[in-house]
Structure 1
């Protein structure tokens, strides 16, 4: 930290205190204790969005000249919206230094990132995926992030939250399995077998009656055709 610009460090501390006082909805952010210019963030997928239930971990790398130069933004958790470990091209990143405003703070950057994530506008570093794929990424993001030691060190509360959610999902899946008919007693299995027999008998009876009906229908059609031909011949005579 001795080589870092005092102006940048001072600004980072002010932005961090502001975030602690006024947290951003759906976003948690922490700087590295050993480097205040490297921040890690987690976006919790908002309700009624393709990312609902997901946790998306990423990094923001601030230049030594911050706030006069913009940062780089990366996302590490697969999400279906942005490519992982690739710099994102946004008007709040170093892809667009001309549009950068030194008055923009960390909370401004994070709010802009979330807003762009919820849109479908393509850009450098973005990707296309279906709604189903995004929802699957959201489900898999929980266990994915728990495997990241840095994520767990910086966001222990989120790790506990994720573990609780995974345990709840596991119990829910177990309850669904226990509630299936296959888990019933042998008596119920016997009833099921009897139902299958009755079903087979009904099917056999239906086939027999269907054959008789088809045969009678053919006879009726031929009879009507014969009457029509006979009527035509008599009129010709």
Structure 2
């Protein structure tokens, strides 16, 4: 046992240097400083996959007999493909020591894990979920991983990426919320004189457009993104005149339709009366 321990440590140091020199795509791995037999990894969801945008944290627990015995593989971040905190049954894990190859490195193990993650083949420790559920897990993985102390300690650069993305998402959410809160502000005379845009962290801008044919639009922005003093009187007059003209046309059209209907009704009544007189006359002559 004591002779194999240096072998495991020296092999892990080699694998670590190899990973730093030639990183595995979408994967980052670090040994725990307090226990070099426990490695933590992060799988970044590949593009055009259900896991895109997600960060998936897990562990590799190596035996002291490594590389002659395979490690245990765990996934800690909910993902929709593997159960969390559960030993995964893979050909590269301790579930299958008979298929283990001592030449396989940490990079080989993590590459095989990612490949199996992108498949849908069931195995012990796997789970089923829809595409939508996987995408939701990917979104939630950012904040979830930041709660893990080992994750924050071992992957500070990834934490910076996550914090940056979360900050952008928050800014977009605030911007969309502010954009939906549009209200018309009446002035002291009860007329509509401005548009107030309410929201947080909005910078003030100045808008000043003069026109000889109108009473003026805008007098600048006053405090917390409020845009004031927009005069709509001229447009309101035009709209009122157009509305009156349209109503007149509709009224004339209705009157015409009413007279037209009365005219045809009178013709029908007169025709029926004439027909009745003719029938009555014929009957009298026959008698």
TM-score (norm 2): 0.63
Superposed displacement of residue 16, structure 1: 0.1
1:185 is aligned to: 184
Q: What is the total number of aligned residue pairs between the two structures?
A: 192
Superposed displacement of residue 184, structure 1: 3.6
Please give the alpha-carbon distance, in whole angstroms, between the structure 2 residues aligned to 1:3 and 1:44. 37
Superposed displacement of residue 34, structure 1: 1.8
Q: Which has the higher helix share?
A: 1
2:111 is aligned to: 111
2:96 is aligned to: 96
Residue deviations 1:185-206, cap 9 Å, x none? 24579xxxxxxxx9xxxxxxxx
Coordinate RMSD, CA, aligned:
2.3
The DSSP-based 3-state class of the residue aligned with 1:30 is: strand
Q: Which has the larger radius of gyration?
A: 2
Please give the alpha-carbon distance, in whole angstroms, between the structure 1 residues aligned to 2:33 and 2:160. 21
1:161 is aligned to: 161
Please give the alpha-carbon distance, in whole angstroms, between the structure 2 residues aligned to 1:177 and 1:3. 64
2:143 is aligned to: 143
1:126 is aligned to: 126
Superposed displacement of residue 36, structure 1: 1.3
Please give the alpha-carbon distance, in whole angstroms, between the structure 2 residues aligned to 1:184 and 1:92. 61
2:8 is aligned to: 8
Please give the alpha-carbon distance, in whole angstroms, between the structure 1 residues aligned to 2:58 and 2:125. 13
1:235 is aligned to: none
In the alignment, structure 2 segments of 5+ residues that lack a partner are 186-191, 197-242, 244-287
Superposed displacement of residue 183, structure 1: 2.0
The DSSP-based 3-state class of the residue aligned with 2:58 is: strand
Residue deviations 1:46-99, cap 9 Å, x none? 111111111110000011100111100001000000000000000000101111
The DSSP-based 3-state class of the residue aligned with 1:126 is: coil
Instruction: Tell me which of the two structures has the higher relative contact order, counting C-alpha pairs closer than 8 angstroms and 6 or more residues apart.
Output: 1
In the alignment, structure 1 segments of 5+ residues that lack a partner are 190-197, 199-237
Moved more, 15-24 or 29-38: 29-38
TM-score (norm 1): 0.76
2:78 is aligned to: 78
2:46 is aligned to: 46
